[in-house]
Amino acid sequence: MSTDGVPQRTGDNLDPWYANYAERASGLSASEVRALFAVASRPEVVSLAGGMPFVSALPQELIQDAMQRVMVENGPTALQYGGGQGIPELRAQILEVMALEGIKASVDDIVTTTGSQQALDLVTKLFIDPGDVILAEAPSYVGAIGVFRSYQANVVHVAMDDDGLIPDALRATIARLRGEGRRIKFLYTIPNFHNPAGVTLSAERRPEIIEICRENEILILEDNPYGLLHFDEPVPNALRSLDPEGVIYLGSFSKTLAPGFRVGWALAPHAIREKLILAAESAILSPSSFSQMVVSEYLATADWRAQIDRFRGVYRERKDAMIEALSEHLPQLSWTNPNGGFYVWVTLPDMLDSKQMLPRAVRELVAYTPGTAFFADGRGRHAMRLSFCYPTPEAIRTGVRRLATVVNGELDLLDTFAGTGRLQLPAAPDYGSTPPSDLR
């Protein structure tokens, strides 16, 4: 306590302004994904860590032509400020995209954002007071956990299985929290090709999840960046299509077009939409007019459905390569087998720790994301996320083979010391949980 009665933060820190930060700044720290990025981007390292889409599959001439037309025909407008809600032409086209998953809405209900990550931040800012509870699947998206922590929310995980979020687990968690007098603000869910688990919420469970939240007056935040990237059957209709007044839907062009444009959107009930616009204007004045107009021009002139089909083929081939390599080199492990999206969730034997094992994996020139990144409560040490979206099939096979060297080496070491107690390995660096906004 200082002489003027103001509490002072203690501890050594080289930042002279350390004591001046708001409490919520303590939730900002680099994630496993960010900390890995510099190392994993080296050409000799096979990175199975970050969720970077394979943008090279996008014909560059389509984007170049769209940019040129925007500048030639509407250059001054594209380089100017725009409205806080986003350009109407793009919002109308977004309706066509969402219709593929059963959503009917009005152009006026859409707010264009700087990637869906900004929409996630804005919704959290609007609803969360310090100490409020957010329900999220176990595991959950690292970027969401970072946002929730930055607003001092308590993230409570709800169990999931191969069919997605488990309704009975959701009921039990809500009842327990209500019994403790805790305030639940919303359920955050990624129902399609989940990041990181790769599973999809079944059609049978979707109405039940909606009804549970409706009965308990809990808002649903539906995050859907991967839904159109299915390999075989399309996903069931969006949760938003089942309850327009109880669901905020977040979408993005980062996975189906390119993340560099940073164009996403939120579809919200009317009253929430108005507050989202105000919050967006307060944060950034307006989303990029140029990016929106290029995306809009692309959607108007290119066969974007065929391009999404091309992405599906690329990612299907890479997922198959990963599953085949895991089956060949690590048959003793278990993993999910997604029917779309970017990720495979691998479960390790209980004696292995994915976070402690990571430095040794990098030395073997392969990188992954430890399971701890995807939990707010310290779980996940016996799991890892492998991303198949960016490396070639050949690189994926090489990466999994290198990973098998690490895993099998760890198991051999533990077998050698069996009966002497678990070997205490040096702790890996604690990277925290707040990711860069473009790594989903």
If you write DSSP's letter for every residue of 23-65 in order, what string do you get? GGGGG--B-HHHHHHHHHTSTTSEE-S-----GGGS-HHHHHH
Could you tell me the pLDDT band of residue 22, with boundaries at 50, 70 and 90? confident
Beta bridge partners of 187: 135, 220
* pLDDT tens by residue, 62-75: 899 999 999 999 99
Helix, strand, coil % in the chain, rounded to nearest 5: 45, 15, 40
Distance of CA 207 to the CA centre of its chain: 23
* pLDDT tens by residue, 207-239: 999 999 999 999 999 999 999 999 999 999 999
What residues have CB less than 8 Å from 72, skipping those under 6 apart?
A: none
DSSP alpha helix (H) spans, 330-392: 354-363
* Averaged pLDDT for residues 287-298: 95
* Averaged pLDDT for residues 48-53: 91
Q: For 105, what's the count of Cα atoms within 13 Å in the CB-facing half-sphere?
A: 34
Contact 226, 341 (CB under 8 A): yes
* pLDDT tens by residue, 105-132: 999 999 999 999 999 999 999 999 999 9
- Integer Cα distance of 120 and 280 in angstroms: 11
Distance of CA 372 to the CA centre of its chain: 14
In 3D space, the residue among 39, 70, 98, 126 whose CA is nearest the CA of residue 300 turns out to be: 70
* pLDDT tens by residue, 312-370: 999 999 999 999 999 999 999 999 999 999 999 999 999 999 999 998 999 999 999 99
**Per DSSP, which regions of 240-372 are E strands?**
247-252, 264-267, 334-335, 343-347, 366-367, 369-370
* Residues 74-302, CATH architecture: 3-Layer(aba) Sandwich (3.40)
CA distances from 96 to 103, 175, 254 (A): 9, 39, 17
Contact 440, 141 (CB under 8 A): yes
Question: Average pLDDT over the chain, rounded to whole?
Answer: 90
Could you tell me the pLDDT band of residue 29, with boundaries at 50, 70 and 90? low
Could you tell me the pLDDT band of residue 5, with boundaries at 50, 70 and 90? very low
Question: What pLDDT does residue 412 have?
Answer: 86
Pairing of strands 164-165, 154-161: antiparallel
User: In residues, how long is the chain?
Assistant: 440
Q: Which tokens in the block code for residue 216?
A: 């308990």
Q: Is the pLDDT of residue 24 over 80?
A: no
Contact 374, 145 (CB under 8 A): yes
410: helix, strand or coil: helix
Question: What pLDDT does residue 32 have?
Answer: 56
Distance of CA 57 to the CA centre of its chain: 21
Contact 31, 39 (CB under 8 A): no
In 3D space, the residue among 328, 323, 324, 367 whose CA is nearest the CA of residue 344 turns out to be: 323
Q: Which tokens in the block code for residue 302?
A: 């290119």
Better pLDDT: 430 or 206: 206
Q: Which residues of the chain form CATH 3.40.640.10?
A: 74-302
Q: Which residues of the chain form CATH 3.90.1150.10?
A: 24-53+306-416
Better pLDDT: 209 or 23: 209
In 3D space, the residue among 44, 30, 45, 42 whose CA is nearest the CA of residue 358 turns out to be: 45
* pLDDT tens by residue, 375-400: 999 999 999 999 999 999 999 999 99
Q: Is the pLDDT of residue 2 over 60?
A: no
What residues have CB less than 8 Å from 112, skipping those under 6 apart?
A: 85, 86, 87, 90, 91, 94, 263, 264, 265, 287, 292
In 3D space, the residue among 435, 366, 397 whose CA is nearest the CA of residue 42 turns out to be: 366
- Backbone angles phi and psi of 142, in degrees to 5: -60, -35
Q: Tally Cβ neighbours within 10 Å of residue 369.
A: 31
Cα dihedral value 128, 133, 139, 142, nearest 10 = 20
Q: Is the pLDDT of residue 203 over 80?
A: yes
Query: Which stretch of DSSP H or E encloses residue 133?
Result: strand 133-138
Question: What pLDDT does residue 422 have?
Answer: 44
Q: Which tokens in the block code for residue 56?
A: 């090279």
Q: Is the pLDDT of residue 193 over 50?
A: yes
CA distances from 1 to 6, 19, 21, 22 (A): 6, 12, 16, 16
Question: What pLDDT does residue 439 have?
Answer: 42
CATH number of the domain at 24-53+306-416, please?
A: 3.90.1150.10
Pairing of strands 366-367, 46-47: parallel
Contact 255, 229 (CB under 8 A): yes
Question: What pLDDT does residue 36 have?
Answer: 59
Pairing of strands 219-223, 264-267: unpaired
Could you tell me the pLDDT band of residue 423, with boundaries at 50, 70 and 90? very low
Q: Is the pLDDT of residue 246 over 50?
A: yes
Better pLDDT: 271 or 414: 271
Contact 253, 86 (CB under 8 A): no
* Averaged pLDDT for residues 139-154: 95
